[in-house]
Amino acid sequence: MLHKMTTALTAALLMAAIAGPAQAHFLWLVESDNPKVLNLYFSEGPYADEPAILKRVEDAVAFKVFDDKEPEEIKFTLADEELKSDELKGRGDSLFALTRTLGVMQRGDDKFLLQYNAKTGPTLGKSAWKRDASKLVSLDVVPTLKDGEGVLTVTFAGKPVEGAEVTIDGATDEPVKVETDAQGIAKFAADKAGFYAIRVKYVENKSGEANGDKYDSVRHYTTLTLPVIPKLNESISAFTDLPEAVTSFGAAIVGDDVYVYGGHSGDAHHYYNEAQNGTLQKLPLKKDAKWETVAEGPRLQGLAMVAHGDKLVRIGGFTALNKEEEEGRNLVSQADVAAFDLKTGKWTELPKLPQPRSSFDAVVVGDVIYVIGGWALNGEDEDSTWHNTAYSLDLSKPNAQWTALPEQPFKRRANSVGAANGKIYSIGGMQEKGGPTTKVAVYDPETKTWSEGPQLPGGNMDGFGTSSFALNGKLYVSTMSGRLVRLADDGQSWETVGGLTNERFFHRMLPVGDDQLILLGGASMMIGKFSEVDVVNLK
């Protein structure tokens, strides 16, 4: 009797929760970062609400969907009034799906079985959404991106559903309601960046019995939590491809020319001397212009290069002393700094870095170069020293020497460095302990202090091998997931500008004129290295 009363009470609470549209509760899956876990919400939208009724669904099981193997079961734990999975393992884009029967409900004279489904995955347009989850949900909804428009394909038992009710929240100030056509298709505007909450309803005219309760129909609801990043106005391969596809190189713009130096052309993590570049190359930013070699120098990767007036300053990096055919690696970070005078065509040595350094970045503010991040590779034993030091060099002083900044409160490499609003930003990177991160550190040259900045959006890998540069006083960052973000005017958050066609990391992004960004080189985990030179038009 007690069990029946408790069940009846829970059902009454649920019925009250779904009694009206303003109070409706659905199941939502949300993948969160830092730490990377899967959240299950029982609410009107993908956010925490009535914690008391979470117990009703705490036994729900989600699945991670793969292309080439069986789905992986994911269970949830109810703690601190939240349903969360254990920390998720693995990299790359993931698709998750869940189905859960809520039992028989009654609204007026209508008794129906309530079947909830939920899916979540990567950004709209990513291939992971095409993985087959139809056996894991009763009503399947697959989002795709076509010609800049969001397309939802709704199927039930493998067949298109006509007339399914679709509610899309996120594209406009008010939710948009549409219905699927005869092909099970519903379309929506995907021209604004954001986190879209989508709900699809289909009523199956089927009677039956569940746990002794009879019903006249089955109401299937499927929710999607869908990150949307509109594609940018890009010119793909706007200029002549790099002579060689490289990663971890230096690049800068002077006048109407872009310059690149160094880099790695071999397979990932396969480092040897012949796969390192030691040339300074120039491309006039004109249609059909060709790359030309300007000067030679040491073979380097993991270096930084900045422009100052009519000079290019090459800083640090590492050299692979081993040949391709030799066993083992002998990687040695360098402390050398040199300036190339574009007028005389000659290199001039500048003061060496106080410590050998590679896998870092640098930026120029006025006449001062700031170097932040990185480590020192120490040779054949593959020993490395992670730096917690940062330095500046004032190029306006004739006998300038590197000056130590206050000790940075972190050790990270593979970061990028940019400047905006009089402050220096060290963005993301790989931590000595803890793996990649989207954390941002801010140095204020005026107060000589470090502080924490807003974390980059996206997963931890979005902070690995980024490129950043300021344009018209605004700091832009491009990440390995293809996201272009911009620091908000108050410096407290990042705004998503749009999505890049070629998703890159360990690349370079530089400003061109007042409203364009040029992206060169780098690599993608899916495609490999890029030689393409793309341009983003921000107007």
Residue at a domain's end among 195, 228, 261: 228
Residue at a domain's end among 208, 228, 248: 228
207 and 265 inside one domain? no
200 and 258 inside one domain? no
Asked whether the beta carbons of 76 and 96 are under 8 A apart, the reply is: no
Laid out side by side, the sheet with 346-350 consists of 304-308, 311-315, 337-341, 346-350
Report the alpha-carbon distance of residue 474 to residue 488 in Å, rounded: 8
In a domain, 12, yes or no: no
* pLDDT above 50 (res 200): yes
Using pLDDT thresholds of 50, 70 and 90, give the confidence band for residue 15: very low
Q: What is the pLDDT of residue 171?
A: 64
223 and 238 inside one domain? no
* Percentage of the chain lying above the pLDDT 70 cut: 95
332 and 401 inside one domain? yes
In a domain, 1, yes or no: no
For the CA atoms of 439, 251, 522, 190, the dihedral, rounded to the nearest 10 degrees, stands at 70
223 and 313 inside one domain? no
Copy the structure tokens of residue 506. 């360990």
296 and 414 inside one domain? yes
Query: Which of 201, 225, 157, 267 lies closest to 525 in space, CA to CA?
Result: 267
Pairing of the two strands 435-444 and 449-453: antiparallel
Q: What is the pLDDT of residue 476?
A: 98
Report the alpha-carbon distance of residue 69 to residue 61 in Å, rounded: 18
The residue-averaged pLDDT of 81-92 equals 87
The residue-averaged pLDDT of 194-218 equals 95
In a domain, 10, yes or no: no
416 and 495 inside one domain? yes
Q: What is the pLDDT of residue 79?
A: 85
CATH code assigned at 139: 2.60.40.10
Using pLDDT thresholds of 50, 70 and 90, give the confidence band for residue 269: confident
Laid out side by side, the sheet with 375-379 consists of 318-320, 331-333, 375-379, 384-386
The residue-averaged pLDDT of 258-271 equals 94
The residue-averaged pLDDT of 257-266 equals 97
Residue at a domain's end among 202, 228, 254: 228
DSSP 135-190: TT-SEEEEEEEETTEEEEEEEETTEE-SS-EEEEESSSSS-EEEE--TTSEEEEE-
* pLDDT above 70 (res 181): yes
Domain count, the chain: 2
216 and 244 inside one domain? no
59 and 161 inside one domain? yes
CB atoms within 10 A of CB 377: 24
Using pLDDT thresholds of 50, 70 and 90, give the confidence band for residue 23: low
Pairing of the two strands 368-372 and 176-179: unpaired
Percentage helix, strand, coil, to 5, in the chain? 5, 50, 45
Report the alpha-carbon distance of residue 351 to residue 337 in Å, rounded: 6
Q: Is the peptide bond before 46 cis (omega within 30 degrees of 0)?
A: no
In a domain, 20, yes or no: no
Report the alpha-carbon distance of residue 380 to residue 361 in Å, rounded: 24
Give the residue numbers spanning the domain of 213.
Answer: 26-228
Return the residue matching tokens 């796969």.
275
Report the alpha-carbon distance of residue 146 to residue 97 in Å, rounded: 23
Q: What is the pLDDT of residue 18?
A: 41
Q: What does the pLDDT look like over 48-79, one tens digit per residue?
A: 877 788 888 999 999 999 999 999 999 999 98
353 and 459 inside one domain? yes
CA–centroid distance for 387 within its chain: 25
Q: What does the pLDDT look like over 106-126, one tens digit per residue?
A: 988 889 999 999 999 999 999
Q: What is the pLDDT of residue 381?
A: 67
More confident residue, 341 or 270: 341
In a domain, 400, yes or no: yes
In a domain, 17, yes or no: no
Q: What is the pLDDT of residue 16?
A: 39
The residue-averaged pLDDT of 240-248 equals 96
In a domain, 18, yes or no: no
Supply the mean pLDDT for the chain: 92
Copy the structure tokens of residue 224. 């999607």
In a domain, 404, yes or no: yes
240 and 192 inside one domain? no
213 and 310 inside one domain? no
Q: What does the pLDDT look like over 477-525, one tens digit per residue?
A: 999 999 999 999 999 999 999 999 999 999 999 999 999 999 999 999 8
* pLDDT above 80 (res 380): no
Report the alpha-carbon distance of residue 95 to residue 122 in Å, rounded: 7
* pLDDT above 50 (res 3): no
More confident residue, 317 or 32: 317
Q: Fill in the DSSP letter of residue 276.
A: B
Pairing of the two strands 483-487 and 474-478: antiparallel
* pLDDT above 60 (res 1): no
CATH code assigned at 417: 2.120.10.80
